[in-house]
Amino acid sequence: MNVNLQTHLTTGQFAKLMNVSKDTLFHYDQIGIFSPEIKDENGYRYYLINQMDVFNVISTLKELDMSLNEIKNYLDRRSPTELISLLENKKEALERRIQTLERRRTMIMEKTFLTKRATSIDVSAITIEQVNEERLFLTNAAPFLGDKSIYESMLKHQHSLKKHNIDAPISSGWMLNSNKIKKNQVFSYDHLFTRVGKASSKSNFVKKEGNYLTAYHTEGYSSVRKTYEKILNYANKTGRTIEGYFYEDVLLDELSVEGYEKYLIKIAVNVVV
């Protein structure tokens, strides 16, 4: 056999060069998608450097989410025109993928920020926060008739999000008109909101910038009303006027704590100082 170790690479060498495991090369040989140029009598595989090109093609196509079978099929009928249409398809897929990952990245950063703040917060304090404008997507909440209406509202909100193609949302919460609390009416939410990012066209409501009277609730949803009233009392005592909606946000959720009772809920409402 004409095996020159200067120019022919063993399975291990080629694997190293291509940043894959030897098993991968065995596997490719076995399914017939990529075999060494030379097989010695003793069964040793020898790859040529120029096989790198072919291997790179396979890697590239694989990273474009093609299965080995699809790749094999493409390679069997490859041509410049086939390649162009393949690449144009893949380009779009890739861009969608990148967008998803970008959104996920914003989500992660947002979540990290919120969680960090949540761990350093004095949950018993009432503060005034300067808040920037935010774009929200709202749906109406069902009139409150027990847990059932909460479920209904959430379900409806989810379906709306799906319908409007809002995926990987940043965060969601509830809204409640402050007049209801002022007038001591029945405690029932008006809207569910989902933050949609500044650039999004999906927003149907703008939460205006300004000063928000903010408090935290730590004892689970069932007693959340107490904190609404705490805010109202505080505003009355300090002579401030509450305006618009209460915004209810979850700072610590299932990602970091287990069960609704441990959630950290933030309640904020615009005040005219």
Q: Which residues bind its own copies (CB under 8 A)?
A: 4, 6-7, 17, 19, 48-50, 52-54, 56-57, 60, 63-64, 75, 78-84, 87-88, 90-91, 94-95, 97-98, 101-102, 104-105, 107-109, 111-112, 115-116, 118-119, 147-148, 150-152, 154-155, 158-159, 162, 252-258, 260
Q: Would the CA dihedral through 257, 187, 214, 113 be positive or negative?
A: positive
Amino acid at 252: L
Per-residue x/- marks for DNA, 200-239, CB under 7 A?
Answer: ----------------------------------------
Cα 54 to Cα 14, 34, 111, 250: the distances in Å are: 13, 8, 42, 51
Query: Of residues 6, 42, 165, 184, which one binds DNA by CB under 7 A?
Result: 42
Report whether 168 contacts 107 (CB < 8 A). yes
**In the beta sheet, which residues pair with residue 174?**
192, 248
Residue with Cβ nearer DNA (93 or 109): 93
Residue with Cβ nearer its own copies (115 or 177): 115
154 C-beta neighbours (distance < 10 Å), count: 16
Order of strands, sheet of 8-10, starting from the edge strand that comes earlier in the sequence: 8-10, 45-48, 38-39
Report the run of H or E that residue 8 belongs to, with start and end.
strand 8-10
Residue with Cβ nearer DNA (65 or 133): 65
Per-residue x/- marks for DNA, 2-41, CB under 7 A?
Answer: ---x----xxxx------xxxxx-xx--------------
Residue with Cβ nearer DNA (20 or 154): 20
Name the E strands within 117-157.
127-131, 134-140
Report whether 189 contacts 228 (CB < 8 A). no
Report d(CA 245, CA 207) in Å as an integer.
9
Show contacts with DNA in window 50-89 (CB under 7 A): 62, 67-69
Read off the DSSP letter of residue 273: -
Candidate ranges 42-50, 104-112, 128-136, 201-209; the one touching DNA (CB under 7 A): 42-50
Q: Which positions lie near DNA, rule CB under 7 A?
A: 5, 10-13, 20-24, 26-27, 42-45, 62, 67-69
